[in-house]
Amino acid sequence: MKEKYDNIDEYIADLKNAIAENDQCANHHYNLAQALLSKRDFAGAEECFLNAIRNSPRMAEAYVQLGGICLQRGDLDGCLHYNEEAANCRPQNAIALSNIAFVHIQKGEPDKAISALNKALSWSPHFLQARNELATAYYMKGNIEGCEQACRNIIKDEPGFAPAWNNLALALFDQGRFDEAVQACDKAAELGFEVAQGFLDELKPHRK
């Protein structure tokens, strides 16, 4: 929000006035959508993002945001569709590719997720979300050693990233390295990750 506004409602009102004068400005529609999102007005934001795309059909950011709205309401197919549109508009869009991978992970399709993530990481090698999703996809596929290595690479760069510690714990457990798994799990919890109760129960007999 621009500094000249005292509150978000003033900003929204100003954007609506600007759109009333020129409803073909995609940026105004996009900025209004973002402002409405900040107020959790998802329906209003969705309409504005769609208006932005009508005026600028290759606005990848708007497609990504629409995908996020779909995900918020549990529509995985909608999320996938809009992020694929974003990637078509801008093939190097690592966020859209990572979101595509996330949907494939949720659908139990690790191979498709890995394909999207390899593309994302070719454009943005240090993208933490994509790197962690890759570890998850490896685990789902049964590539436990690949999962472990991906987690260790993340932790080397970002030792405070709790989800990587949790994925590492899962990979270590599946390899029968229970002491290490307990340590990794406890580190994830210490960093604020909510470890699944089922996994905690499986670890319990291996605690000393």
d(CA 204, CA 110): 29
Per-residue DSSP letter, 192: T
What SS3 string covers 43-86?
A: HHHHHHHHHHHHHCCCCHHHHHHHHHHHHHCCCHHHHHHHHHHH
Residue 9: the pLDDT is 87
Q: Which tens digit of pLDDT belongs to each residue from 61-84?
A: 999 999 999 999 999 999 999 999
Q: If you average pLDDT over residues 52-63, what whole number do you get?
A: 96
Q: Give me the percent of the chain exceeding a pLDDT of 90.
A: 94
* pLDDT value, residue 116: 98
Q: What is the chain's alpha carbon radius of gyration, rounded to the nearest angstrom?
A: 21
Encode pLDDT of 123-139 as tens digits.
999 999 999 999 999 99
Q: What is the CATH number of domain 143-208?
A: 1.25.40.10
Question: Residue 60: its pLDDT value, please?
Answer: 96
Task: Report the candidate in 27, 30, 26, 32 with the shortest Cα–Cα distance to residue 10.
Answer: 32
Residue 3 binned pLDDT confidence (cut-offs 50, 70, 90)? low
Q: What are the pLDDT digits (tens) for 139-160? A: 999 999 999 999 999 999 999 9
**Token pair belonging to 24:** 């073909």
Confidence of residue 172 (pLDDT cuts 50, 70, 90): very high
Strands in 37-161 per DSSP E: none
Please give the Cα distance from 34 to 41 (Å, whole number).
10
pLDDT tens, 95-112? 999 999 999 999 999 999
2, pLDDT greater than 70: no
pTM of the model: 0.89
Mean pLDDT of the chain: 95
Candidates 157, 181, 186; CA nearest to 170 is 181
pLDDT band of residue 53 (cuts 50, 70, 90) is very high
Domain boundaries, the chain: 143-208
